[in-house]
Amino acid sequence: MNGRFKLNTMRKKLARALCFTSIVLAPIGFSAPATSAPLDDSVRLLNQATFGPDFHNIDALKGTTLESWIQAQIELPATYHRELFEELETEDIEAEHRVHAWFFASLHAQDQLRQRMAFALSQIFVVSQFGNLLAEKQGGLFSYYDMLIEHGLGNYRDLMFDVTMHPVMGSFLTYAPNEKAAEDGSTEADENYARELLQLMTLGPYLLNLDGSFQLDEQGQRIPTYTESHIKSFAKVFTGLCYVEECDPFESQMIEPLEAHIDDHDMSEKVLLNRTLPADPDSVLDDINGALDDIFEHPNLAPFVSQRLIQMLVTSNPSPQYLARVASVFNDNGEGEKGDLAATVTAILLDEEAREGHLGEAANTFGKLKEPLLMLTHLLRATHAFTPEETPFIPRLFKNFGQAPLNAPSVFNFYHFDHTPHSLTQGLVAPEFEMSPEDQLLERYDLFFRLVKKQDFELMVNIIEEAESREAGIENLINYFDLMLTQGQMSPLLREEIAFQINGARQKDTRRNGKRKNKFTDRHAIINSLLLILTSAEFTIQR
């Protein structure tokens, strides 16, 4: 059997093992072993609120409270991606430049909470370059993502308006241009944005209680939030919008907000969810603001948005009580303001379930599978693999990982938030598993393998230096791995296997040189240990 065949076979086995152990262990069957070190709450918070823990943020949390750290993050100025692109000093904007800026901000920006919120919001207000004109409009996609960064800790109502008026959304959901229905009934207003705004971005298809449970009619059936008639009325609202450059999507750079043209706007009365917009409005924006207010005031908005954010930041299956507490803050930040995302994310992260859910009665159902990009950024941040000057260009990211910024395969995102793998019971969901078929896991692990094995990769040096600075011993090095990569939940079996790898390397070194080195400089032992961790449930499952 040749070496390449052995290598490929090992990769496939490890990928299958990752698929099996993750499905079995998360989120319903895995609990931290009693012998493992207690979870460090600072590191757990950083997993939930950033793109992964690093030494700088851990140091920033020393001597302060979690509340103070979150408030400091909220007050930091925003890091905008377009500014990072402009530093590259190139005129031609390609998709790889946008992804590079995303990685730079994810790995190095100080405003990690804002960046993480923008990434979450990009999966609620979905636009994508996947298979459409937007692949040629990278400047517009830069602009759209920067808008999410700007509003990431702002107000949801303001975000709704700017999303509606952004030409990238107008192109993606085909309401720019969107002319009023023909008088002879031969055409109707485009319904795409109206439908997805209600279903996926704000309210959801069924009426909800504050705790996210469905409201039921007398027959025990779910009650629809809206009807087809409502969608048609909202579609009329979004008529008359177009690009600033002669209403031509091919000519538009898709950066400037959409223009409103009253001549192309439907001027009829519009019956919405809880209000009626009168005929002959003074402007298109009057109708748009009236419609967005109608949605914003709806009681579904708080539980719908709160649940999405909790699922992406903390746990796939929040308890009804947790969701209700967060939704209450979304409805009122304590000062009478609804939709305050800074207050909402603070409530999400500081809630007792976020901080101690892994220890409570529902510990076996707490947590979430990390999204592929978050696995990658976690590894790179935890190991300080790249300096800002060396931030990598990672080609074919969607092919290798099944995920890339603003590249979802549909308006439904990379996964459905109610996705349930076959192995789950009890009505639980595990959304991110929809992105993890076995062939995708193999591609993903192959990228990890190539990154870690790459000879000029500085990750090994960083790990060795960090371990040595802490008077490294095998147990201390494993504790370092456990803190930075597995949140203190490393199992005895995994600890034992890593110790076996390092001890084996030291024994070989003794036989080769006649004496044993005092420092763990055996690169292959650390590589093998890292690969074991990266394919473990302890790393892939955030708890």
pLDDT band at 338 (very low <50, low <70, confident <90, very high): very high
Query: Taking the model in full, what pTM does it have?
Result: 0.89
Q: Are 11 and 4 in contact (CB under 8 A)?
A: no
Band of residue 461 on the pLDDT scale cut at 50, 70, 90: low
Which pLDDT belongs to residue 394? 74
**pLDDT confidence band for 469 (50 / 70 / 90):** low
pLDDT of 31 strictly over 60: no
Of all residues in the chain, what percent are helix, strand and coil, respectively (each to 5)?
A: 55, 5, 40
pLDDT at 88: 66
Give the span between the Cα atoms of 70 and 53, in whole angstroms: 14
Whether the pLDDT of residue 15 is over 50: the answer is no
Q: Give the distance between the most distant pair of CA atoms in the chain.
A: 93
Among 203-212, 283-292, 459-468, 472-481, the least confident range:
459-468
For position 212, what pLDDT does the model report?
98
User: What average pLDDT does range 523-537 have in this prediction?
Assistant: 83
Backbone CA torsion sign across 346, 352, 354, 356: positive
pLDDT band, very low/low/confident/very high, at 480 (cuts 50, 70, 90): confident
pLDDT at residue 90 in the model: 66
| pLDDT of the residue at 36 | 29
Asked which of 70-84, 154-168, 459-473, 474-488 is least confident by mean pLDDT, the reply is: 459-473
What local confidence, expressed as pLDDT, does residue 506 receive? Answer: 60
What pLDDT digit, counting tens, does each position of 48-104 carry? 999 999 878 888 887 789 999 999 999 999 999 998 887 766 667 888 889 989 999
Rounded Cα distance between 198 and 202, Å, is: 5
Residue scoring higher pLDDT (276 or 497): 276
Q: Looking at the predicted structure, is the pLDDT value of residue 29 above 60?
A: no
What's the pLDDT at 463?
60
State the angle between helix axes of 320-331 and 341-350 in degrees (0 to 180), rounded to the nearest 10: 150
Judge whether 24 and 474 are in contact, CB under 8 Å: no
Say whether the peptide bond before residue 392 is cis (omega within 30 degrees of 0): no
pLDDT per residue as tens digits for the range 371-414 = 999 999 998 898 877 777 777 677 677 777 889 999 999 999 99
For residues 110-134, average pLDDT: 96
pLDDT of residue 421: 86
pLDDT of residue 470: 47
Domain ranges of the chain: 3-41+370-382+414-542, 42-154+383-413, 155-299
Question: Residue 175 pLDDT more than 80?
Answer: yes
Task: Tell me the β-bridge partners of 242.
Answer: 259
DSSP structure string for 111-158 = -HHHHHHHHHHTTTS----TTSGGGG-HHHHHHHHHHHHHHTTSBHHH
Band (147; pLDDT cuts 50, 70, 90): very high
Q: Which DSSP string corresponds to 246-288?
A: TT-TTT--S-SPPEE-GGGS--S-EE-SS-EEPSS-S-HHHHH
**Integer CA distances (angstroms), 450 to 443, 444, 531, in order:** 11, 10, 11
Q: Which pLDDT score is estimated for 19?
A: 38
Task: Judge residue 458's burial from the number of C-beta atoms within 10 Å of its C-beta, 0-12 exposed, 13-18 middle, 19 or more buried.
Answer: middle
Per-residue confidence band for 22, with pLDDT thresholds at 50, 70 and 90: very low
List pLDDT tens digits, range 260-315.
999 999 999 999 999 999 999 999 999 999 999 999 999 999 999 999 999 999 99
Q: Beta-carbon neighbour count of residue 364 at 10 Å?
A: 15
Task: Indicate the SS3 state at residue 216.
Answer: strand
CB 106 within 8 A of CB 387: no
**Mean pLDDT across the stretch 186-195?**
94
Mean pLDDT value of segment 132-140: 94
Question: Is the model's pLDDT at 198 over the cut of 90?
Answer: yes
Query: Which residues lie across from 271 on neighbouring strands?
Result: 276
Question: For 504-523, how does the pLDDT look when each residue is reduced to its tens digit (9 = 90+)?
Answer: 766 665 555 555 454 444 66
Task: Give residue 121's pLDDT.
Answer: 98
What percent of the chain has pLDDT above 70?
A: 83
Average pLDDT, the chain: 85
Any residues with CB less than 8 A from the CB of 344 and at least 6 apart, and which?
A: 305, 306, 309, 326, 329, 330, 333
**Position with higher pLDDT, 303 vs 251:** 303
What φ, ψ does residue 344 adopt, rounded to 5°?
-65, -45
Of 238-247, 312-321, 472-481, the one with minimum mean pLDDT is: 472-481
Give the rounded distance of the alpha carbon of 268 from its chain centre. 40
Residue 464 — pLDDT band, cuts 50, 70, 90? low
